[in-house]
Amino acid sequence: MSDSRRGGAHHPLAELTLARLREFMREPEAVFWTFGYPVIMSLALAFAFPSAELQPVLVGVTGGDAGAAIRQTLAAAPGVTVRDVAAADALRMLREGEVHILVEPTDPPSYRFDKARDESRPARLVVDNALKGAAGRADPWTATELPVDVPGSRYIDWLIPGIIGTGLMANGMWGVGFSIVQARMRKVLKRMVASPMRRYQYLAAQLLARMTFLGPEVAFPLVFGVLAFGMPINGSIASMAVVVLLAALAFSALGLLFGTRARTFEGISGLMNIGMLPMWILSGVFFSASNFPDAIQPLVQALPLTATNDALRAVILEGSPLPAIRDELAILLAWIVIPFAVSLKIFRWQ
Amino acid sequence: MSLALRCEALEKRYGAVVAVDGLSLSVERGECFGLLGPNGAGKTTTIEILEGLLAPDTGDVEVLGLRWKTHGGELRERLGVQLQETQLTDKLTVEETLRVFRSFYRQGHTIEALIQLVGLEAKRTSWVAKLSGGQKQRLSIACALAGDPDLLFLDEPTTGLDPQSRRQLWDILTRFKAAGGTILLTTHYMDEAEALCDRVAIVDHGKVIAAGTPAELIANLAAPKMVVREGTLEDVFMALTGRHLRDE
């Protein structure tokens, strides 16, 4: 509500936050990247992981009529797609992944495949098994198979929290860092310092404005993951909100810190890239951070994006309550308090 | 009359460059005081020291009887500042911009009154980016007036404006002064100093080289050389600084 003592204006923290929000909403490009990034990433993932179904084994059989019996046998095997391949095309098709293995109708048959190729080794086993079974091999026993398809244990389930984490990082750091450098370049900061505005209010407003975009920004990839991939959300929404809020504050505080001194967009861009690159690599976005050597684990674990991704995965996939992720939350808290305090200290207002 | 502002023996160096070199001046309450000088004379550095944005290397500043070190917060509430290079946020409206600045002050004009003071009623909901140069400058003055200041600092308020916009701005400042306000402004337009200022100081190389009312300066310095026409402040300025106004 308007405050009559302020001549119709709200509290400065509210006015500064509103001003930042208005500025953001009137900048179509900034809005696009904030909400577009998770959309684009999610769509890219949808293409990369089209469905949960098994990919068929692609087998090429050469030899024309001589290979007819083999083709017939393999075609009857489950999960196998058989192609009649002319000898002249055979190697090219193998090289380009159109077939995973080539079977030549010699006696006994020959298999031609690339051992270094992930799809070729199971293809060889499937082919070998089907042909030997057809040739009369007796199995000593048949194992009882217990197939498992637990949502939450697949790569895509693991990946989506990482996408959300990187979105929080990129938007927090760019959003806050750039707007500050812009205000400095336009001498708006200097003008504000010449007023009775309290400096922490300006910095706090940058963080507050950032918080208001969080809902849709996080909800989109999450809902997309649930609808498109059946990703489970095992933890509570409240726990997730706590993690997201702390993470967003931590990355905004980092953006603030990177924006404290830079005088140009080139300057801030360089700093941002230096700051974000280690996290892209080390913080377990696309593969687990525990793969890095023990010697650098303390560093890896201390990064805010590692804490964010670990905490998000724990809550979303394992349903962990907050006490179980207190270490990650403590790391994020430190990444909020320290950069904010340092920024306030070393901020270049003019 | 009591002093609104006093500074003595101000010095400010940037490396080997001496921007302000032992500058002293005093401004009385209710007065409009002009700092005149060519580009690079040290006007902006001086006004920024007086505004508390820069600390002098040596020298003494007293504003409204207070010092920046001990009463910075109180001074900020009572001063209005317009900086030379501020570009207000493009994508906020006139009204939104004023709301932000007004919110910083404990007391002052209403948003409505500020818009009327500078005659931007028709532009209330326009983005800053859509304003003309003169309108932007009036908005900047409105921001400076938000806290109903006792003392207004203006750094080259009309540089680059068309004659009509300059007149509009002068009218705003004349009304502020008529209501009892004190103004310190820098300019390199002599007609502006003659139209607005009760007293002026001509600054060059970081020093005050002449001070007084425009009439006194003209009488003392220009008149003896001006035989065919009446002297102007510009003649004084040229005689003292020995170079053209706009030369760097």
Q: Quick one: A100 and A64 in the same domain?
A: yes
Please give the share of chain B, as a percent, with pLDDT higher than 90. 76
Please give the share of chain B, as a percent, with pLDDT higher than 70. 93
Instruction: Assess if residue B127 is contained within a domain.
Output: yes
Q: Quick one: A45 and A65 in the same domain?
A: no
Nearest CB partner across the interface for B111, out of A7, A16, A194 = A7
* Chain B touched by A28 (CB under 8 Å): no
**Contact residues on chain B for A196, CB-CB shorter than 8 A:** 73, 76-77, 104-106, 147
- pLDDT value at residue B222: 55
* Chain B touched by A196 (CB under 8 Å): yes
Instruction: Assess if residue A1 is contained within a domain.
Output: no
Is the pLDDT at B242 greater than 90? The verdict is no
Which residue from B189, B145, B206 is spatially nearest to B7, judged by alpha carbons? Answer: B206
Would the CB atoms of A16 and B89 count as touching at under 8 Å?
Answer: no
Look up residue B14 and give its two tokens. Answer: 């940037």
**Identity of the highest mean pLDDT range in A167-176, A215-224, B214-223, B233-242:** A167-176
Instruction: Assess if residue A5 is contained within a domain.
Output: no
* Structural domain for A211, as ranges: 10-49+154-346
Q: Quick one: A189 and A327 in the same domain?
A: yes
pLDDT-wise least confident of A136-145, B57-66, B155-164? A136-145
Q: Quick one: A41 and A112 in the same domain?
A: no
Which pLDDT tens digit goes with each residue over A280-323?
A: 999 988 888 888 899 999 999 999 999 999 999 999 999 999 99
Q: What is the DSSP letter of B66?
A: B
- pLDDT value at residue A258: 93
Q: Quick one: A89 and A29 in the same domain?
A: no
Higher pLDDT pick, B240 / B176 = B176
Instruction: Assess if residue B17 is contained within a domain.
Output: yes
Dihedral angle, C-alpha A221, A223, A229, A232, nearest 10 °: 110
Instruction: Assess if residue A219 is contained within a domain.
Output: yes
User: Residues of A numbered 154-183 whose beta carbons fall under 8 angstroms of chain B's beta carbons: which are they?
Assistant: 183
Residue of B nearest to A182 (CA): B89
Please state at what angle helix A304-318 crosses helix A237-258, rounded to 10 degrees.
170
The reported pTM is 0.79
**Contact residues on chain A for B143, CB-CB shorter than 8 A:** 191
Instruction: Assess if residue B170 is contained within a domain.
Output: yes
Asked whether the beta carbons of A60 and A127 are under 8 A apart, the reply is no
- pLDDT value at residue A134: 87
ipTM given for this complex:
0.89
Question: How many other CB atoms are found less than 10 A from the CB of residue B182?
Answer: 23
Q: Quick one: A112 and A223 in the same domain?
A: no
Mean pLDDT value of segment A341-350: 88
Question: How many other CB atoms are found less than 10 A from the CB of residue B28?
Answer: 15
Nearest CB partner across the interface for B104, out of A12, A183, A350 = A12
Number of structural domains in chain A? 2
Instruction: Assess if residue B247 is contained within a domain.
Output: no
Q: Quick one: A226 and A123 in the same domain?
A: no
Q: How far is A19 from chain B (nearest CA, A)?
A: 7
Mean pLDDT value of segment B39-64: 94
Instruction: Assess if residue B246 is contained within a domain.
Output: no
Q: How far is B221 from chain A (nearest CA, A)?
A: 37
**Contact residues on chain A for B127, CB-CB shorter than 8 A:** 26
Q: Quick one: A192 and A311 in the same domain?
A: yes
Instruction: Assess if residue A139 is contained within a domain.
Output: no
**Contact residues on chain B for A16, CB-CB shorter than 8 A:** 100, 103
Instruction: Assess if residue B163 is contained within a domain.
Output: yes
For CA atoms B193, B197, B199, B200, give the dihedral sign.
negative
* Structural domain for B10, as ranges: 3-241
Residue of A nearest to B96 (CA): A19
Q: Give the list of residues 6+ apart from residue B185 with CB closer than 8 angstroms, or none.
A: B32, B33, B34, B35, B152, B153, B154, B155, B156, B157, B173, B196, B197
Q: What confidence tier does A157 reach under pLDDT thresholds 50, 70, 90?
A: confident
Q: What confidence tier does B245 reach under pLDDT thresholds 50, 70, 90?
A: very low
Instruction: Assess if residue A140 is contained within a domain.
Output: no
At B220, the amino acid letter reads N
Q: Quick one: A166 and A184 in the same domain?
A: yes
Q: Quick one: A44 and A70 in the same domain?
A: no
Nearest CB partner across the interface for A16, out of B88, B100, B112 = B100
Helix spans in A135-234 (H) = 155-185, 188-193, 199-212, 214-229
Which pLDDT tens digit goes with each residue over A105-126?
A: 988 899 999 888 888 888 899 9
- pLDDT value at residue A149: 61
Q: How far is A100 from chain B (nearest CA, A)?
A: 58
Which pLDDT tens digit goes with each residue over B158-202?
A: 988 989 999 999 999 999 999 999 999 999 888 899 999 999 999
Instruction: Assess if residue A259 is contained within a domain.
Output: yes
Is the pLDDT at B226 greater than 60? The verdict is no
Residue that finishes a domain, picked among A100, A134, A168? A134
Which residue from B164, B167, B163, B173 is spatially nearest to B140, judged by alpha carbons? Answer: B173
Measure the CA–CA gap between B16 and B23, rounded to whole angstroms: 18
Please give the share of chain A, as a percent, with pLDDT higher than 90. 45
Which residue from B103, B87, B194 is spatially nearest to B147, judged by alpha carbons? Answer: B103
Is the pLDDT at A51 greater than 70? The verdict is no
Q: Quick one: A85 and A203 in the same domain?
A: no
φ/ψ of residue A34, rounded to 5: -65, -45
CATH of the domain at B79: 3.40.50.300
Instruction: Assess if residue A146 is contained within a domain.
Output: no
Measure the CA–CA gap between A297 and A313, rounded to whole angstroms: 18
Number of structural domains in chain B? 1
Instruction: Assess if residue B68 is contained within a domain.
Output: yes
Residue that finishes a domain, picked among A134, A162, A187? A134
Instruction: Assess if residue B248 is contained within a domain.
Output: no
User: Residues of B numbered 66-125 whose beta carbons fall under 8 angstroms of chain A's beta carbons: which are they?
Assistant: 73, 76-77, 79, 81, 83, 85-89, 91-92, 96-114
A&B contacts, CB < 8 Å: 99
Would the CB atoms of B92 and A23 count as touching at under 8 Å?
Answer: yes
Q: Quick one: A120 and A199 in the same domain?
A: no
Measure the CA–CA gap between B220 and B215, rounded to whole angstroms: 9
Asked whether the beta carbons of B181 and B147 are under 8 A apart, the reply is no
Asked whether the beta carbons of B104 and A195 are under 8 A apart, the reply is yes
Instruction: Assess if residue A149 is contained within a domain.
Output: no
